[in-house]
């Protein structure tokens, strides 16, 4: 492990001048989102394996940070509420009614029509009663019902 520490110290004191090849072209917004949404655990262990020239093996484990994803979604919904001059509770309700689609929420707030769903209609789909499902398909259309079933994570 001492050799690895010395290796890192020697690298730190070298002057690095990047070439065009070393410069990375990336979308800073996308990178920031990825950094926010991933929790990384890096484990470094010593090894005697001939495959590893430095004697050090590094393991990187990535895990989705769901809390960060919901925090980001909340920030985006608050921004939409400010942009359209609406209360955040109204935005939450509309967001759920349009199948949690930010694009469809914006279209709805801009005055475009979009299929809205009620809790009773969701319950009718979840009941799997053929008469209720047939009525919903008749009023909403098969494509809309398929989209809502996918959103609810159920099968009919």
Write down the pLDDT at residue 96.
87
Label residue 110 by pLDDT band (50, 70, 90).
very high
Query: 6 with 55, same domain?
Result: yes
Q: Name the one residue in this structure whose structure tokens are 């809309």.
A: 144
Query: For residues 112 and 72, what is the distance between their CA atoms, to the nearest angstrom?
Result: 26
Query: 71 with 109, same domain?
Result: yes
Percentage, residues of the chain above pLDDT 90 = 24
Phi-psi region of 27 (alpha: psi -120 to 50; beta: other; left: phi over 0): beta
Query: 6 with 59, same domain?
Result: yes
Write down the pLDDT at residue 16.
56
Token readout for 65 is 């940070």
Task: Give the domain-ending residue among 29, 49, 64.
Answer: 64
Query: 23 with 41, same domain?
Result: yes
Query: For residues 93 and 23, what is the distance between their CA atoms, to the nearest angstrom?
Result: 45
Instruction: Show the domain range for 153.
Output: 117-156
pTM for this entry: 0.54
Write down the pLDDT at residue 138.
92
- Total number of domains constituting the chain: 3
The answer to whether the beta carbons of residues 59 and 43 sit under 8 Å apart is: yes
Query: 16 with 47, same domain?
Result: yes
Write down the pLDDT at residue 27.
72
Token readout for 85 is 């001059």
Query: For residues 19 and 71, what is the distance between their CA atoms, to the nearest angstrom?
Result: 38
Label residue 112 by pLDDT band (50, 70, 90).
confident
């Amino acid at each position: 492990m001492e050799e690895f520490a010395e290796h890192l110290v020697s690298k730190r004191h070298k002057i690095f001048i990047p070439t065009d090849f070393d410069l990375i072209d990336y979308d800073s917004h996308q990178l920031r989102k990825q950094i926010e949404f991933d929790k990384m655990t890096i484990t470094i262990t010593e090894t005697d394996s001939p495959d590893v020239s430095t004697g050090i093996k590094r393991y990187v484990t990535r895990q989705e940070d769901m809390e960060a994803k919901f925090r980001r979604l909340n920030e985006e919904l608050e921004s939409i509420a400010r942009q359209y001059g609406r209360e955040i509770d109204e935005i939450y309700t509309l967001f759920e009614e349009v199948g949690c689609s930010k694009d469809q929420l914006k279209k709805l707030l801009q005055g475009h029509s979009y299929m809205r769903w009620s809790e009773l209609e969701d319950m009718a789909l979840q009941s799997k009663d053929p008469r209720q499902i047939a009525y919903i398909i008749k009023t909403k259309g098969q494509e809309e019902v398929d989209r809502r079933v996918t959103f609810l994570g159920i099968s009919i």
